[in-house]
Amino acid sequence: MQKKLAPWVLPSSNVSLEGTEILVRSRSSFFIACYVEGRPKPKITWLKDGENIDEIIENNVEVSLRDDNQILEFKFARTKYAGKYECSIESRVGHIQPFTNVIFEDEALALSEKNLINFYHRCHHCPCHFILRKQLGTGAFGRVLLAQVKGLNGKESPTRVAIKMCKYEGDKTHLRALILELKIMIHLGKHLNIVNLMGAHTSNIDKGELWILVEYCKYGNLLKFIQRAKNKFINQIDPVTSDIDVGRTSPFPNDPLYGRTSNLNPDAYLDLHIPGGSVEIGHSMGGHPSATYNARLTTV
């Protein structure tokens, strides 16, 4: 005579005794799996929000049970199918009831939006007056505008900021990407070397409109700076030896300064005129670990 075993849920199921979440898209297909073992073979009954599933399945070609009621399949996802699904497993030896919550992506996003609004009304929300200016740039899902903001951080005088917003209002995918970016900026906090978050305008987020206020960088971004200065770039990699030649100070091959200058006096200074500041640097010469080559960078 075989030993009786209480029913248990197999790991391949997407339900559990602690509960799981299944995130689905509208109009897609999905299934809930409740694979069980036990001796004698347990009986499976499905419940939705505490009610027997039979009312949903009856005369409904979109929802069906298969594999001895172990799989509840939905051929066409509708928001009315969202809710708590319990897999009631019962035998003479015992009874367990694992469950899952079916959540639609739009509802999940709405919940994130609600939490975000509540957070910003407490911390970062900016009840300001905005004057939008020119467009500064555009990306895959958003665009950036220059703006004057009155009332930011309690200041009556206008503050220049850059405002990031969705390229197309009402696009859930773009809004989700912007929300994720905002969350990252919140966690980063303020730092001298990054573009800092200054606030957010969330009043119309239910309409797909979210504005992120960040510091305005009047000199543009690093990419544009590199593009503007590409003609002044000096490649100090020697094409023959692949060594770094710090003595090469001209981008033009015909310039006398283009050649390798390893015979420079290590203690001599060379003025390199660049925009933006003054800094003094030192560099060891190849083959002379103790020798130092100095360059003084000055503003033009």
For tokens 């200074």, what's the residue? Answer: 269
Q: Which comes out higher in pLDDT, residue 189 or 208?
A: 189
13-46: pLDDT as tens digits? 999 999 999 988 877 899 999 999 999 999 999 9
Lowest average pLDDT, out of 95-104, 166-175, 226-235, 277-286, goes to 277-286
Q: Which of 12-16, 79-83, 122-126, 179-183 has the highest mean pLDDT?
A: 12-16
| pLDDT range class, residue 294, cuts 50, 70, 90 | very low
Asked if residue 99 and residue 17 are part of one domain, the reply reads yes
Please indicate, yes or no, if residue 180 is contained in any of the structural domains.
Answer: yes
Asked if residue 213 and residue 235 are part of one domain, the reply reads no
pLDDT at residue 232 greater than cutoff 50 = yes
Asked if residue 213 and residue 165 are part of one domain, the reply reads yes
DSSP secondary structure of 187-208? HH---TTSPPEEEEE-TTGGGT
| Number of residues that make up the chain | 300
DSSP secondary structure of 70-83? TEEEESS--GGG-E
Q: How far is CA 50 from CA 6, 36, 151, 193, 198, in A?
A: 23, 21, 51, 54, 47
Please indicate, yes or no, if residue 114 is contained in any of the structural domains.
Answer: no
CB neighbourhood size of 177 (10 A): 16
* Number of domains composing the chain: 3
pLDDT at residue 102 greater than cutoff 60 = yes
Please indicate, yes or no, if residue 68 is contained in any of the structural domains.
Answer: yes
Among the candidates 222, 237, 268, a domain finishes at: 222
Asked if residue 212 and residue 136 are part of one domain, the reply reads yes
- For residue 65, what are its two tokens? 């049970």
pLDDT at residue 54 greater than cutoff 80 = yes
| Residue 86 φ then ψ, to 5° | -110, 135
Q: List binding-site positions.
A: 164
Asked if residue 242 and residue 217 are part of one domain, the reply reads no
The contacts of residue 64 (CB under 8 Å, 6+ apart) are 57, 72, 73, 75
Asked if residue 208 and residue 233 are part of one domain, the reply reads no
Output the pTM of the full model: 0.43
Please indicate, yes or no, if residue 200 is contained in any of the structural domains.
Answer: yes
Please indicate, yes or no, if residue 115 is contained in any of the structural domains.
Answer: no
Structural contact between residues 128 and 199, judged by C-beta atoms closer than 8 angstroms? yes
User: How far apart are the C-alpha atoms of 177 and 202, rounded to whole Å?
Assistant: 15
Among the candidates 196, 222, 248, a domain finishes at: 222
- For residue 241, what are its two tokens? 């030896």
Asked if residue 89 and residue 160 are part of one domain, the reply reads no
Q: Which comes out higher in pLDDT, residue 205 or 257?
A: 205
Please indicate, yes or no, if residue 136 is contained in any of the structural domains.
Answer: yes
User: By percentage, how much of the chain surpasses pLDDT 70?
Assistant: 74
Asked if residue 99 and residue 12 are part of one domain, the reply reads yes
| Residue 188 φ then ψ, to 5° | -65, -35
Asked if residue 150 and residue 203 are part of one domain, the reply reads yes
Q: In 3-state terms, what secondary structure has residue 246? A: coil
CATH number of the domain within which 145 lies: 3.30.200.20
DSSP state, residue 237 = B
Structural contact between residues 78 and 107, judged by C-beta atoms closer than 8 angstroms? no
Residue 198 lies in domain: 123-222
User: How far apart are the C-alpha atoms of 154 and 150, rounded to whole Å?
Assistant: 8
User: How far apart are the C-alpha atoms of 33 and 27, rounded to whole Å?
Assistant: 19
pLDDT at residue 264 greater than cutoff 50 = no
User: How far apart are the C-alpha atoms of 151 and 260, rounded to whole Å?
Assistant: 57
Q: Which of 13, 138, 27 lies closest to 72, judged by CA?
A: 13
What's the confidence (pLDDT) of residue 296?
37
User: How far apart are the C-alpha atoms of 152 and 160, rounded to whole Å?
Assistant: 10
Q: Which of 297, 237, 243, 240 lies closest to 270, judged by CA?
A: 297
Asked if residue 59 and residue 130 are part of one domain, the reply reads no
Please indicate, yes or no, if residue 248 is contained in any of the structural domains.
Answer: yes
Among the candidates 187, 222, 257, a domain finishes at: 222
Structural contact between residues 94 and 48, judged by C-beta atoms closer than 8 angstroms? no
Q: List binding-site positions for ATP.
A: 164
Asked if residue 131 and residue 215 are part of one domain, the reply reads yes
Please indicate, yes or no, if residue 117 is contained in any of the structural domains.
Answer: no
What mean pLDDT do residues 115-137 have? 67
Asked if residue 217 and residue 233 are part of one domain, the reply reads no
Q: In 3-state terms, what secondary structure has residue 38? A: strand
User: How far apart are the C-alpha atoms of 119 and 154, rounded to whole Å?
Assistant: 19
Mean pLDDT over the full length of the chain: 78
